[in-house]
Every structure is written in structure tokens, then in C-alpha cells.
Structure 1
Amino acid sequence: MSKRTYYAPKGGLPPQTQLLTDRAVFTEAYAIIPKGTNSDIVTSFLPFWEGARFWVIARPLSGFAETFSQYIAEVQPGGGSDRPETDTGVEAVLFVVEGGMTVTIDGTPHDMAPGGYAYLPPDANWTLRNNGTQAVRFHWIRKAYQAVDGLDRPVAFVTNENDIAPTVMPDTDGAWATTRFVEPSDLRHDMHVTIVTLMPGAVIPFAETHVMEHGLYVLEGKAVYHLNQNWVEVEAGDYMWLRAFCPQACYAGGPGPFRYLLYKDVNRHMPLSVPAG
């Protein structure tokens, strides 16, 4: 397998001479946020974080992301937070794309490098600090945990993509694989964050149309994606949000692997309103 790479935004601001036409699009079924939109002026700051800024690429919004939020965080040397999460009942996944950081969970420190993955259960006691000499950039995916009576809550863990063998999809000759950090049969988890790898020329050979909402951040490579009834080109650094039941398929363009970080909500009944009386 080729050396894994992870695209990370650096900010900045395009020159005044740049044309305004771009690939950014927001529809009722999907949205494309190209890497070029992650400039300095679209960052956010959050309470109790020092030396940090965030690109918010998904948030709960009627007609947009309904089940999760996703940030790309940038934390400078010495920065971090002793109170990173201010909401209750929220679980999270952290995935490092550049630099290093230390995440401390229930008093135990974990050093994380590119490819590092941390699952933080709802109401976890955790802190984060960049003790290095360069900025660290990582994804922070947050979801309100849906507890189920009779199921234990999941526990925290820290790992790295490089320590997990990808699962090859059936009948693909290794051209399509998924790196899973949680066993699909573990129903304690109500979300999966995985890495999908498609080798050059590989395809998702049918228009997947399903109940799961998706957030896809392209870590490496390029592809042509079929979303709803449109073909769109995407490359490393682009982000796609797909509404539930948005048809989706793709061709990997090469010359190297096409890889993306994928969020989806799983393992829970669909919420229903109970009729009065």
C-alpha cells in the first residue's frame, strides 16, 4: 500500500485577482464545500479553547446536517482546552490529519499523530493540548448520543488508522475497502466514522440510496461523484454532506488512491412522534 497522506487546510485568503466561480454548491439533497473555501475569514472560535480556531463544515440545520456537527480544528503549539465540550450527552470522534497532540481521557494521556483516531463517549472527561512545535489539525465530529434502555454506553478508546487492517468490500478484488474503528455489530454505537479507500479506476457500482446521513471529507486523491442526478468532481480537502436517501456513487480518478473520512448515523430506530391521546 502507498504511504497514506491526509489533506489539511492552512487558511490564508485568495488574491483579489481570483475568479469567483467555484465548485461550491448547496442543494436540498447534498452540499459540496471545496477546499478553497476554508480561508481565514470563515473560521470560528469556541469557548474555553486557547490558540485554536475551527472550520465548521457541518452543523444541525433544517434541510442540512440533522444528526451531527463536524469541525476541522487547528490548534497552535501550547494551545488546547481543559474544557473542550460544553454540551451534555455529546459523543465525539477526533481524527488527526497533521501534527500531533495529547488527548487526556479520565487522567490518562494519549499522544496522537496523523491517522490517530479517538472515540469519546457522551459526557467523557477529556482535555486536549498541543505540546509540539507545529500546529495540529484534526477533525472533530460531534453527535448527541441516543441512549437505549438495556444497552451499555460505549467506552473511550484511542487508536491509529495504520494499526487497523482495512476490510475489503465483497467482489471488488481489493479495489474498494473500508477501515472500521468500531465493529458494525456493536450496537452500543449510534454512529460510525470510517475511512473508505478506492483504488484508481474503482467504482461504487450503484447509486446507494439509504437512510443514513453522510459527511465525507476527502483525505487523499480525486474522484467523480454522482450525487442525486449530478456528477461533481472532488479532490483532497473537499467536503461533501449527503442528506438521507440522496443517491450516491463514484469513480475513483487516480493516479493514486481516493480516500475519505466518512460519518454516518447507525443502529437506531427512526424517531417517531406519538399521536396525542
Structure 2
Amino acid sequence: MTSYASPSAGLPPQMQLHTGRAVFTEAYAVIPHGVMRDIVTSYLPHWRNSIVWTIARPLSGFAETFSQYIVEVAPGGGSERPEMNPEAEGVLFVVAGQVHLTVDGQAHELSEGGYAFLPPAARWTLNNSSAAPARFHWVRKRYERVDGIDVPPAFVTNEQDIAIRWMPGTRDTWGTTRFVEPSDLRHDMHVNIVTLEPGAVIPFEETHVMEHGLYVLEGKAVYRLNRDWVEVEAGDFMWLRAFCPQACYAGPERFRYLLYKDVNRHAKLPF
């Protein structure tokens, strides 16, 4: 059974040394799980009994296309008006507990590993009718419409029902769980899961226009970010601006992360 990391509750003890790994550079940021504490949470309009860790938001000169939240919904909590921006598309990925989601009148129960794509202007609600807290990632992006290309419909699935697509020549040690086809031009963002088996590598410095958010779901690795090799583990978040070089050596256990990237659109020009 797959397990998923999520933020810690409470605060660290007063005598704990400041030896964390949090860093913000011109090319990337690392938010380790140890600093995602209750004190950095916030609240959202029209959400009941829910708290939010904002781990990415558009910043001029850095990553500009997306925001990413970790939302914790207490029993009885949720929202009938969750998204206030009609141009925002979203992806939900459940890492703990269970939520009741309705999308355009269709009801769905999402448990751990549950995944939902929500197109712009979708009518949706989310509630926790269980007896335990639920946690999920919520990735948001302003949808980029293209004349002659339809907006993709909503869909709900679970990552356990989707086979990993292994990269060629890797002996099934590095692969991606893809929730939409890469060639489907209706989609302008991908939120996938990358898996590296113990000892697997990304053997070159990927350098590309796509911005990235990488939340480590399980395992540990040494990750190359720009000029640095950084140790990361379950519960850490990495935030990469466009063209930040990246590579990876996976650790002694399976290493998996939830990956955001912007795709399938022209680069914006300043005129």
C-alpha cells in the first residue's frame, strides 16, 4: 500500500537547533517538511474548518504560472464555493483521509491517491463527511485558451488505477504516472507522479522552459538544483523556475514526487 507524506502538526521544541534545509535562491526554492508547521497555515474564503499551507504562488521573476496548496479539512469541513476565479483550472490529489467531491452535479468519493482535474468555470464542491481529517494538494493555474481548441472536461481517477510509464532504457526504474496524454493540446498543465526505484537516476541535467513544483510523496534522494546537490525526503517541496537545471539520484527506497509543469502553449511575448 502506498503512503503519502503530509505536513507535521504543532511546533518543534524550543531547544531544537536551527539546522533545517530551507533555502530560496534565484533559480529554485526548497521548503522542507520540518518548516510546514501550523504557524504558517492560513484560511481561505468560503472554506469551513479548513487550513491551508501555501507552498507555491506566482512571483514576478520567479515561477509565475501556478499556485499550490496543501489543504487540511477537518470532519464536517469543506466548501460549497471553493474556487473564486472562473478562469482557474485545478488539480486535486488526496494524500490522507477521504473527501466527497461533486463536479457539475456528479458525486465522487476521493480517498488516498484520488485525483481530480477541474477545468475553468467548473461547478464543484468539496466536503469531509468522515470522522478523520483529510488532506489534499490543490494545484491552480489560469487556463490559457486557444482558438479552435476545446477546454478539457473534468475527470476523476486514482493513481492506483494508472500504470507507470517507464522511461526507455531504464529497466523499469524511472517512470511517470500520467493522468493526461502529453499530446492532448487541450491541457496546458500536467500534474503527474514521478517514480524512481532505489538507486535509479535522472542521468542528465534537465534544462527546459517548464516551471516545476515537486512535492516528495515518499522516499529520499539527492536532487540537483541549478549548481547545487540537495538532499530531499518525504514531505519536502521543491520549486523550480524556468530553465533551472535538475537531475537526481534516488536513495535506498522508492522515491516518488507529485510534479507540476506548464506545457503545450506558446511562450508569452512582451508585446
Interval of TM-score (by shorter of Structure 1 and Structure 2) = over 0.9
- Name 1:216's counterpart in structure 2: 214
* Superimposed CA distance per residue, residues 161-217 of structure 1 (whole angstroms, 9 cap, x where no aligned partner): 000001011110000010000011110000000000000000000000000000000
Alpha-carbon distance, 1:22 to partner = 1.1
Identity of aligned residues (%): 69
1:191-202 → structure 2 map (5 Å cutoff): 191-202=189-200
Which of 45, 60, 66 lines up with 1:62 in the alignment? 60
Match of 2:137 among 139, 143, 166: 139
Pick the aligned partner of 2:226 from 225, 228, 231. 228
The Cα of 1:145 is off from its aligned counterpart by 0.2
- Structure 1 residue 147 displacement after superposition: 0.3
- Structure 2 partner of 1:75: 73
Q: Which amino acid aligns with 1:53?
A: I
**Equivalent of 2:15, from 17, 26, 34?**
17
- Counterpart of 1:229, as a letter, is R
Candidates 170, 173, 192, aligned match of 2:171: 173
Deviation at 1:88, TM superposition (A): 2.0
Q: Distance in 2 between matches of 1:174 and 1:4?
A: 18
Question: Aligned with 1:261: secondary structure?
Answer: strand
1:269 partnered with 2:266: yes
Counterpart of 2:146 in structure 1 is 148
Distance 1:194 1:4 in 2: 16
* Residue 156 (structure 2) pairs with residue 158 (structure 1): yes
* Alpha-carbon offset, residue 9 of structure 1: 1.5
Per-residue deviation at 1:25? 0.2
Q: What SS does the aligned partner of 1:85 have? A: coil
Distance (whole Å) between structure 2 residues aligned to residue 157 and residue 114 of structure 1 = 16
Contact 2:91 2:116 in 1 (8 A): yes
Hey, what's the Cα distance between the residues in 2 that align with 1:94 and 1:262? 12
Which residue does 1:97 correspond to in 2?
Answer: 95
> Corresponding residue for 2:187?
189
Q: Deviations over 1:128-172 (max 9, x none)?
A: 000100000000000000000000000000000000001011110
Structure 2: 5+ residue stretches without partners: none
Shift of 1:8: 1.4
1:52-104 deviation per Cα after TM superposition (whole angstroms, max 9, x unaligned): 00000000112332000000000000000000011120000000000000110
CA RMSD, aligned part only? 0.7
The whole-number CA distance in structure 1 between the counterparts of 2:60 and 2:142 is 16
User: What is the TM-score when the length of structure 1 is the normalising length?
Assistant: 0.97
Distance of 2:257 and 2:270 partners within structure 1:
35
TM-score, normalised to structure 2, is: 0.99
Q: Does structure 1 residue 257 correspond to structure 2 residue 225? A: no
SS in 2 for 1:80: strand
Distance 2:48 2:8 in 1: 18
Partner of 1:242 in structure 2? 240
CA distance in 2, matches of 1:5, 1:195: 13
Instruction: State the distance in 2 between where 1:147 and 1:63 align.
Output: 23
Task: Report SS of the residue matched to 1:162.
Answer: helix
5+ residue gaps, structure 1 = none
Structure 2: how far apart are the matches of 1:23 and 1:62?
24
Specify the SS of the correspondent of 2:69.
strand
Conserved 8 A contact 2:8-2:34: no
> Do the aligned residues in 1 keep the contact of 2:211 with 2:240 (CA within 8 Å)?
yes
Total equivalences in the alignment = 271
SS in 2 for 1:36: helix
Q: Which runs of structure 2 are paired with 1:25-44 in the superposition (5 Å)?
A: 25-44=23-42
Q: Structure 1 residue runs of 4+, over 4 Å off?
A: none
Q: Do the aligned partners of 2:8 and 2:33 also contact (CA within 8 Å) in 1?
A: no
